[in-house]
Structure 1
């Protein structure tokens, strides 16, 4: 295995396990207010995974999207969306790990024969955001396809503009983390990638950035951002945490879960982005060891790496062909 492949594997593992461990840490406290979390786990809140910790629908649906990509990431977007829609229908038979009504309702629409372009519901909850990070990995070297795929795949379930913008941001942030762009430098690029999609999302993103650079404590700032049930808030909360702790996966995730709100979704988004940027080495080994059914993640690593290189190679060939055609025209 060459050094390039080893680095890609570390980053992918960082994303997969970074997402799943953060998700599992947030699972026990998702529906608790912060005061209840502190009452149960102490003043600092929940800090460690318990043995046999299991993830929620956040990781489950990320894996659904990953399987769709394995079946068709190299295809044109309409055909790829067909594959993702098929996986969402199959997902309805999987154990219920707490999926929201929007995602389940859209999947039922798909099963009833409604086309994926019309299956989504007008909801701005975070179900589309929490699964899209894997797109940032597969389409890392094709940002145009990445943005379009993030939007289209998100709209299969969530058509609200705020959810749409958050889906684009969630996938693009993972791509940037893989490229070595630190959270501080992501801000303007995220604004550009989501420009014109949702004023609500833009406002939340700007607020997150400003609060991360304020003198407020983590708790005070997070409370001002919101609770994370809606996609614009979910991403804003996650972005705040990685801005405050760009080199510390564990601290960022611990900050993300100890909130009044959607703890597992906020932490899984933050954990996936930082895991992708810092690599698997940043994720506490004890957390990885504690994760239940981690073999499911292990089994998908090699197929995803193979798909990543296939898609990247195809993109390079297309770009090379376009360059040759352009050169031939200029000489004629």
Structure 2
């Protein structure tokens, strides 16, 4: 796969990349749907509700099986923001964190409005998807961070005490910027995480997660991705908790068969660092995708976030066809996710044919306005 921003993509490379993009988005979503019904329950409560093996299949949540939460909603808007950033680059305006912030504000509107405003053509097509106008347990930090138009930055972050994993989950699409250098991927993910989660543990976990997924999307191993993330984290203030969590995850891989107790130990007190450790561990030790996702969600911490982080890594590593088809068949919003994934893949591999100095496809600019 090409790792150069201006490289020409062959057909096989494009198909492989599209499969990894689809896998990432669907992996986040299906694991989010798996973990959401047990989010916040203790392991004992999960077993009481679902049997001695814990949760092994999709369960009812938000009125149906396969319902996604704000983790997936925000991940989709991350993709939308990245496409819009590429389109806006034609105008000479190139500051992706601003475009991502605008995308997240469009998500925030879905949490307070009854439905899309068809008059706002500048919102693009994703913000007009009616099924996204549903409150699905949004984290307080997300609502507060996006409660006004002021954008949090690394120098002046929103919610500077929040160490939650939500910003890391929505960072999966940054790892799909395979033409970018890893350090730039980390920087973008951290800057965008600081818009809602201002503690270094939260925004550096988001950056590390994006770097690991970036390696997987480029065909590298999980271990190579973790080692690169550790090297890039090393000079950053406040990185120790995230680095320790990643080291702990790698160490746990060598300690025999995975157990729920080991998952609980890695998860710790439910911070972004703990959820990231669970995701890395389960990605490496899972017998298959289904087993890995069930490992990730059967624990007393943020099951939905840990599952979604794991699903993103596995989707980037293996592509969409490795995901459990019976779960995908019930996944809420799957048609939207597939369209968005394919649009992202097309923009990143063939964007010059869609818009640029010599002309633009009107339909593309209607879907992803420059405004």
What is the TM-score when the length of structure 2 is the normalising length?
Answer: 0.78
Contact 1:15 1:272 in 2 (8 A): yes
Counterpart among 314, 330, 334 of residue 290 in structure 1: 330
Residue 180 of structure 1 is matched in structure 2 by: 219
CA shift, 1:57, in A, is 0.9
Look up the SS of the partner of 2:148 in the other structure. Answer: helix
Residue 279 of structure 1 is matched in structure 2 by: 319
Structure 2 unaligned regions, length at least 5: 1-9, 111-133, 354-371
Residue 201 of structure 2 is matched in structure 1 by: 162
Counterpart among 55, 58, 70 of residue 83 in structure 2: 70
Look up the SS of the partner of 2:67 in the other structure. Answer: coil
The alignment of Structure 1 onto Structure 2 pairs a total of residues equal to 309
Contact 2:212 2:226 in 1 (8 A): no
- In 2, the alpha carbon distance for the partners of 1:220 and 1:57 equals 28
CA shift, 1:30, in A, is 0.4
- 1:57 paired to 2:45: no
Contact 1:18 1:268 in 2 (8 A): yes
Contact 1:81 1:152 in 2 (8 A): yes
Question: 1:23-81 CA deviation, whole Å, 9 max, x = no partner?
Answer: 10001100211111111111111111257411111111111111111110464896222
- In 1, the alpha carbon distance for the partners of 2:220 and 2:269 equals 24
Q: Per residue, is there more helix in 1 or in 2? A: 1
- What aligned pairs does 1:68-217 form with structure 2 within 5 A after superposition? 68-73=81-86, 75=89, 79-94=95-110, 95-110=134-149, 114-117=150-153, 118=156, 120-122=158-160, 123-197=162-236, 198-215=239-256, 217=258
Counterpart among 300, 310, 314 of residue 270 in structure 1: 310
The answer to which of 136-145 and 155-164 deviates more is 136-145
Contact 2:22 2:342 in 1 (8 A): no
CA shift, 1:249, in A, is 1.3
Distance 1:49 1:96, change over 3 A: same
Contact 2:20 2:319 in 1 (8 A): yes
Structure 1 unaligned regions, length at least 5: 314-332
RMSD: 2.2
Question: 1:135-193 CA deviation, whole Å, 9 max, x = no partner?
Answer: 11134443343122111111111221111210111111111111222223333222112
Counterpart among 50, 61, 83 of residue 41 in structure 1: 50
Contact 1:225 1:237 in 2 (8 A): yes
Contact 2:214 2:225 in 1 (8 A): no
Distance 1:179 1:18, change over 3 A: same
CA shift, 1:312, in A, is 10
Counterpart among 232, 236, 240 of residue 277 in structure 2: 236
Look up the SS of the partner of 2:196 in the other structure. Answer: coil
- In 2, the alpha carbon distance for the partners of 1:13 and 1:228 equals 31
Distance 1:194 1:54, change over 3 A: same
The answer to which of 69-78 and 232-241 deviates more is 69-78
What is the TM-score when the length of structure 1 is the normalising length?
Answer: 0.86
CA shift, 1:239, in A, is 1.0
